[in-house]
Amino acid sequence: MSELVNAESTPTQAKAASKPRRTATVRSSRLPFIWASLAPILLYFFIFSLLPILAAFYISLQTWPLMGGATKFVGFKHYVGILQDPRFYASLWNTAYFAIAYMGAVIVLGLGMALLVGSLGTRLRMLVRPIYFAPQVTSVVAVALMFTWLYEPRTGVLNYLLSFVGIGPFLWLRSQEMVMPALIATAVWRSVGYSMVIFTAGLLSIPRELYDAVAVDGAGRWTTFHHLTLPLLQPTLLFMFVTATIGGFQVFVEPWLMSGGGPGTASRVLMLDIYDEGFRFFEMGSASALAVCLFLVIAVIAYIQMRYLRESFEF
């Protein structure tokens, strides 16, 4: 009897054992096609992402005059000078302040706008979405110049409107206390439409049946938002946390055009320091060292966000 069972089971076992081999053979035969399809993406990443980073690090180890002249290897001299310069820490603090406030405002307002637009009728929704998204496709220089005019102490529209309620006038871009909030408001106005679109996509990915189920159970709006919408939006929230933080640390146009880093150093950010070192003082070595420092700061913060937010979001 046992011989019969063994005889019957042997072909089955042999067939089952051959399946992994076939699967491995099929996978190995598909590898050339997979690598061929990935080759353009990998080539683009190498040329436009990895290679510039390596080149910046190489230049940061030398004195590299932009307007000509001999280069000289100096090792980590630029990095030592940066870490001993108090202006670097002042710019880093301003950049972190801008990035944190910008990230929080973009996420809160973008999510709020997405919920508001989602509650509108179909026709009104189709009208409102392009209006909210329009600043995102507008030139950042045009937006900065427009807000510079709005913030003018005497002729600006903002102070003119505030005068009707007996407030102001304020020196928006000439006050050390108000210049950063003014710049943050400008950047948020320009970028919140993008945040709204991302959150709208996240909301549309939530099955409608779940909302119907909690409505049958008698859940209110806040309960539905807190216990259903937010948990299912966690991947979208993680994406917005990381991208908004990176965008905030890379701010340049608003401080450059609207305040010039002033008054004093109140709106001085790291990108302005990089620009000045490279294109005002023509020293690409120290500018590249500052760029590498900014890259490392962003990489560390993005890693912390990805790791700890993933654990807190539980996905």
Q: What is the pLDDT of residues 56-71, one digit of tens each?
A: 999 999 998 888 778 8
170-219 tens-digit pLDDT = 899 999 999 999 999 999 999 999 999 999 999 988 888 988 888 888 88
Q: How confident is the model at residue 29 (pLDDT cuts 50, 70, 90)?
A: low
Q: Which token pair is 228?
A: 């259903």
Bond from prior residue into 263 cis (ω within 30 degrees of 0): yes
- Using alpha carbons, select from 157, 158, 151 the residue that is nearest to residue 174: 151
pLDDT at 314: 59
Q: What's the chain's Rg over C-alpha atoms?
A: 27
Distance CA 235, CA 311 (A): 12
Q: What is the pTM of this model?
A: 0.85
Distance CA 172, CA 191 (A): 20
Ranking 4-18, 78-92, 98-112 by mean pLDDT, the lowest is 4-18
Q: 8 pLDDT exceeds 50? A: no
pLDDT at 218: 81
H helix runs in the chain, sequence order:
2-45, 51-60, 77-83, 86-118, 122-133, 140-150, 157-163, 179-204, 208-216, 221-224, 230-232, 234-249, 253-254, 270-279, 284-304, 310-313
Distance CA 200, CA 132 (A): 12
**How far does Cα 229 stand from its chain's mean position?**
22
**How far does Cα 266 stand from its chain's mean position?**
23
- CB-based contacts of 306, cutoff 8 Å, min separation 6: 238, 242
Distance CA 260, CA 173 (A): 10
pLDDT at 132: 86
Q: How confident is the model at residue 21 (pLDDT cuts 50, 70, 90)?
A: low
**Burial class (CB within 10 angstroms; exposed 0-12, middle 13-18, buried 19+) of 144:** buried
Distance CA 304, CA 282 (A): 35
